[in-house]
Homo-oligomer: A and B are copies of this chain.
Amino acid sequence: MPTVTVLGTSAALPAHGRHLSATLVQWGARTVLLDCGEGTQFRLMDAGVSAARLDLVCLTHWHGDHAFGLPGLLSTVALQGRTAPLVLAGPDGLAEALNAWPGIHLDGLPFSLDLRLWPHDGCRATDGRFDVWKDETLVVTARPLDHRVPTMGYRLEDAPRPGNLDADKARALGVTDFRDFRRLKAGHDVTTPEGKRVRSTDVVTPRPPPRAFAYALDTAPCDGARLLARNADLVLHDATFSDEWTARAAETGHSTARQAAEVAAAAGAKRLLLTHFSARHERSAPLVAEARSVFLNTDAAEELCPYVLD
């Protein structure tokens, strides 16, 4: 089952025992890290996951509380002797920024970085969808959010999965060729040796809907977040402030907990987790209460607690 583990829930500053932004997603055999605030390599250790196992790292934007852990993470992975390529998604210019620090040089790593860099304008000029990753089990896409600097959120979802073929029923309808069974499962209709037409939909259950997780921070409420969260099983959304600070949220390109709930509701999401709490909110309970008045299935993300998409 896909599992989401939030490694840090603090905005800007580490406070009240919260850590800086980073979220681990394990999806089948794939291990994905979303954002990489300072200390993320230690939080991965706390979660019992070796940084060397990561397949994909996605940055949302340049701000330090989401990115300053990346040089150290890459250094540690290098020291652990990784040779397999690592896919790194983020803003254009990422390689240059990493190379500018004398303690690390990408050419000196024992593994290659497969960079998937979105334009620094955050794809605002296009429909905004940026394809990050696709394999037989996982599809990752990015969409622009609304923050003070170009920022992209991410959606992880199942690759399209075929429905189940009822082989007995197909045989009863006269299908005998093994290639016809394959065609039916893949969604195609076939004709039996006796000339009878058998429709795929007669013998194959409908495709299961893809499970989806949306990661929308840092951002004000926006279309990009709603698109990422469309029918998602789980949404992790910026909820930096309580209602009282709504104006401050707008000024700084963040959301209130209530606004996060409005995004989840508009998107038809199933469950919402709030994160990126301002240091001024020592307790998250009041924010959860404000959000639940709009979208009941809301909780504050708990660090290191595995949330399972089933």
Interface set of A (CB-CB < 8 Å, partner B): 12-14, 20, 38-39, 41-42, 45, 62-65, 67-69, 71-72, 75-76, 79-80, 91, 93, 96-97, 100-104, 149
In the complex, are the beta carbons of B42 and A103 less than 8 A apart? no
In the complex, which residues of chain B have a beta carbon less than 8 angstroms from the beta carbon of A69? 38
In the complex, which residues of chain B have a beta carbon less than 8 angstroms from the beta carbon of A38? 38-39, 41-42, 68-69, 71-72
**Residue in chain B with minimal CB distance to A97:** B101
Query: How many of these chains are in the complex?
Result: 2
In the complex, which residues of chain B have a beta carbon less than 8 angstroms from the beta carbon of A65? 72, 75
Assembly CA distance A62 to B63 (angstroms): 22
Assembly CA distance A13 to B20 (angstroms): 20
Q: Given A12-B79, A14-B41, answer yes or no on A64-B68 (Cβ-Cβ < 8 Å).
A: no
Shortest beta-carbon contacts, A-B, top 7: A100-B100, A64-B103, A62-B102, A38-B72, A68-B72, A64-B75, A62-B103
**Residue in chain B with minimal CB distance to A279:** B79
- CB contact between A42 and one of B14, B80, B96 (< 8 Å): that residue: B14
Assembly CA distance A12 to B64 (angstroms): 22
In the complex, which residues of chain B have a beta carbon less than 8 angstroms from the beta carbon of A79? 12-13
In the complex, are the beta carbons of A45 and B14 less than 8 A apart? yes
In the complex, which residues of chain B have a beta carbon less than 8 angstroms from the beta carbon of A68? 38, 68, 71-72, 75, 101, 103
In the complex, are the beta carbons of B67 and A103 less than 8 A apart? yes
In the complex, which residues of chain B have a beta carbon less than 8 angstroms from the beta carbon of A67? 101, 103
In the complex, which residues of chain B have a beta carbon less than 8 angstroms from the beta carbon of A41? 14, 38
- CB contact between A102 and one of B12, B97, B101, B102 (< 8 Å): that residue: B97
In the complex, are the beta carbons of B76 and A71 less than 8 A apart? no
